[in-house]
Each structure stands twice: as C-alpha cells, then as structure tokens.
Amino acid sequence: MARLLITGGAGFIGSHTCVVLLEAGHNLLVLDNFSNSSPVALERLKSILNLNDRDSASRLQVFQGDVRDIDLLEKIFEKSELQSSPIEAVIHFAGLKAVEESVHDPLGYWDVNVSGSRTLLEVMDKHDCKTLVFSSSATLYGYPDIVPIPESAPINPINPYGASKAAVEMMLADVAGCLKDRGIKQASTTGWRIARLRYFNPVGAHPSGCIGEDPNGVPNNLFPYVSQVAIGRRGTLQVFGSDWPTSDGTGIRDYIHVMDLAEGHKCALDALVGSGPQLLTLNLGSGVGSSVLEVIRAFETASGREVPYKIVERRPGDAAITVADPTLAYKCLGWRTRRGLNEICRDGWAWQFANPNGYKGEVA
Ligand code: WQD
C-alpha cells in the first residue's frame, strides 16, 4: 500500500475519497487550510474506519496549511522521506470552487487554483513524486455543444472558476510532455503519471451520515440548498427558470454520488500506479440527467419533508442541460457510477438529519 498526500482532504470530495483510500489500506497525509472545510470531518473518518489514536497517528496525518506554501509542502515531503516512507502519489483537491464567487474574485481563483497547483507540481518534481490525480471539473466545457458531453468536447470555460481548472489541465499536459489537445490517454514523455478527472455534479454523502457536504454560508448549489430547506435552515428554494428546453422546463444536470466519485479516484490512482507514464483525461459522471423538479421530488420522498419552492428568473451563466458521456471512464478504469438519485437523496438526508448545522458547533 502507498503513502499518499491528499490536498484538500478535509473537504467534501476529499474526505469521502480519504474513506475509500483508507479502506484500501493506504496511509494518508492530509493538507488542508480549512477555509471551506472542517477538521471535524477528519475526526469523523477515524470513527468510520474505527481507527484508534495509534493507528491514525500513522495512517492519517493532518497538516493545517495552504497548498501555496512551498516551505510547508517541502516539510511534508521531507518528513516522509526521513520516515523512510516517501510520498508515492498526490490527489489534489485543494482549491476554490464557487462559480459566482470566482466572477467577483478572478485573481483569487487563479492564485489558489493555478499558482497553488504550480507550487505543488514544483515540489513534487523536486522530490521525484510524479503521480498525480487532479480534481478537474466539467465546468471547463462551458456551454456544451453536444450532450452527453464527451472528453473531446471543446474546452470553453465561461467563468474564472472553469478557466482556472482549464489552465491547470494545460499545465499538467505540459508537465507530462503531451500535446494539449490530443486524446484522453496520452503517453507521457517526462515520466509523469497524471489523471485529470472532470467532475459533473458531486452530491450526497457517506451512508453513515458522519460526513457530508457542508458549504460555507448560503449554498450556491441546488443539492445542499434543498437539503437545508428540508431540515428547516432555509425557507423556500428558488428554482432558476422553468422555461428551459427540457422535459419539465427546469435545468438538467448529471448528479454523481460522492461515494461513486471517491471510488473513481481510487480507480484512477490504481490505473496510474499500475501502468506507465501517461496523461489520462476522464469525465466522472453518471450519464443520467435529472431536472431540478425531479431532485426536489426525490429529496421530499427520501426525507419525508416538504421542500417549498418558487420559480424565479434563470441564473446568469446557467446551461439548460449538462450531462456526461461516461463511457471512457468505464473503458479505461472499469469504473461507472453504481448509485442513483434515490441513494443520493437517502444518504444526503441521513447526513443532514444527523448534522442539521453541518460540522458547525462541533469541536475537532
Ligand atoms: C444545478 C441546477 C440550477 C441552485 C456547479 C458548479 C460547480 C461544480 C458543479 C465542481 C441548475 C439549479 C441551483 C438553486 C436552482 N462543481 N438551481 N436553485 O449549475 O451545474 O454548477 O456544478 O466543479 O459547483 O459549476 O450546479 O447545483 O449550482 O445547479 O434552481 O438554488 O439547479 O439552475 O439547473 P451547476 P448547481
């Protein structure tokens, strides 16, 4: 089993991926600045995995800090080398991810997402750690020309968040010595093993209800907002438009259970470690579209709670339909989603019901 560095490992997708990696026997070093996450999530991992203090001291080491801090990154890599257990691979989640926020703070997004990734790559290269799984996003496709969206679709980000993800993808292609616009699986001429995973809409929670999505402030995204209405933290959901060219007039998205997404990261890591230097680019989605009204109904069924909503104007920057073509992830990794909207709502509600205020108020 390997020693892995997980940047942003306390976050929504990072914490769920840590569960899967720990269950697979890996030893993790987590770097997180807790700007949009909580150390409580990492404590909860110990209970999910039944890790005692002695086990977690060696299997789940936590470093509080920022991925842009080169001295801290150096210290983490050097400490592992001194322990004769060098870091073999990195899964890079740390970054900012709110579309609307990125419009108001483009330089902040380019600093954290792009400069932070560059700093990480520099330190990895210096320590001869050349295996990386990168948290990319379907947001870089912008308005899709064709749906379902294949990996070969044009990269056309329409906000600074998507642009920052596209920029890191280009940086990774250069580091791998690959032409930027060729295929989903390219041989690397520099010895790097890189997977660029383009998430669609990550939602849901670990079935234990111990960890889940806990956005700061008012949720921008549909699923956490619906969940907070159901638990009574929010009054009425605003549905952004009912005049879209879709079955019921509301926006359609590809919602992927966060546990499916976490398992996809493990499969991608296994594929990189098990084969030669390469640049792999894959959509991680279900291939199934669900409308806003379908999500509301499914969540009401799972929770037994009403989710009152009001139809309002379309949100600027929204597309009508965004759904993945997930066939290449299955071809390359043997991975596909195994959970649908009902499991998403069941597990998302279990988390919200057990944690009405998320991790707030808990002390790590
Ligand atoms: C989904 C649908 C809205 C909120 C996000 C971001 C980014 C990315 C995942 C990682 C749309 C509608 C939403 C609300 C609503 N993550 N909606 N009322 O727009 O696909 O964008 O995708 O990269 O977080 O790019 O997700 O959840 O914001 O919206 O009616 O209060 O729900 O119009 O149709 P989206 P979303």
pLDDT in tens, 252-281: 999 999 999 999 999 999 999 988 999 999
Angle separating helix axes 116-126 and 70-82, nearest 10 degrees: 30
Rg, Å, the chain Cα set: 20
The answer, yes or no, to whether the previous bond of 148 is cis (omega within 30 of 0) is yes
Residue 361, pLDDT score: 61
- In whole angstroms, give the CA distance from residue 112 to residue 94: 8
Task: Give Cα separations from 1 to 22, 27, 133, 268, 270 (angstroms).
Answer: 10, 7, 17, 15, 11
Q: How large a percentage of the chain has pLDDT more than 90?
A: 92
Q: Where are the alpha helices (DSSP H) in the chain?
A: 12-23, 39-49, 53-59, 70-82, 99-104, 106-109, 116-126, 160-175, 222-231, 258-273, 292-303, 327-333, 341-354
Residue 280, pLDDT score: 96
- Domain range 3-354, its CATH number among 3.10.105.10, 3.40.50.620, 3.40.50.170, 3.40.50.720: 3.40.50.720
How far is ligand 1, taken at its centre, from the CA of residue 305, in Å? Answer: 22
How far is ligand 1, taken at its centre, from the CA of residue 140, in Å? Answer: 14
Q: Give, using CA atoms, the residue closest to atom 26 of ligand 1.
A: 221
How far is ligand 1, taken at its centre, from the CA of residue 285, in Å? Answer: 14
Tens digit of each residue's pLDDT (9 = 90 or more) over 231-257: 999 999 999 999 999 999 999 999 999
- Give the confidence band of 363 by pLDDT, cuts at 50, 70, 90: low
Based on the residue annotation, tell me whether 109 is a catalytic residue of this protein.
Answer: no
- In whole angstroms, give the CA distance from residue 263 to residue 286: 13
- In whole angstroms, give the CA distance from residue 85 to residue 2: 9
Atom of ligand 1 nearest to the CA of 239: 30
Residue 24, pLDDT score: 97
Active-site annotation holder among 109, 141, 161, 225: 161
One-letter identity of residue 321: I
Residue 22 pLDDT exceeds 70: yes
How far is ligand 1, taken at its centre, from the CA of residue 200, in Å? Answer: 10
- Give the confidence band of 1 by pLDDT, cuts at 50, 70, 90: confident
Atom of ligand 1 nearest to the CA of 139: 25
Ligand 1 shell residues, CB under 6 Å = 97, 99, 137, 139, 199, 201, 220-222, 225, 237-240, 251, 253, 292, 315, 318, 322
- Across the range 100-124, mean pLDDT stands at 97
Tens digit of each residue's pLDDT (9 = 90 or more) over 323-360: 999 999 999 999 999 999 999 999 999 999 999 999 98
Tens digit of each residue's pLDDT (9 = 90 or more) over 148-207: 999 999 999 999 999 999 999 999 999 999 876 666 778 888 999 999 999 999 999 999
Q: Give, using CA atoms, the residue closest to atom 31 of ligand 1.
A: 222
Query: pLDDT averaged over the chain?
Result: 96
Residue 225, pLDDT score: 98
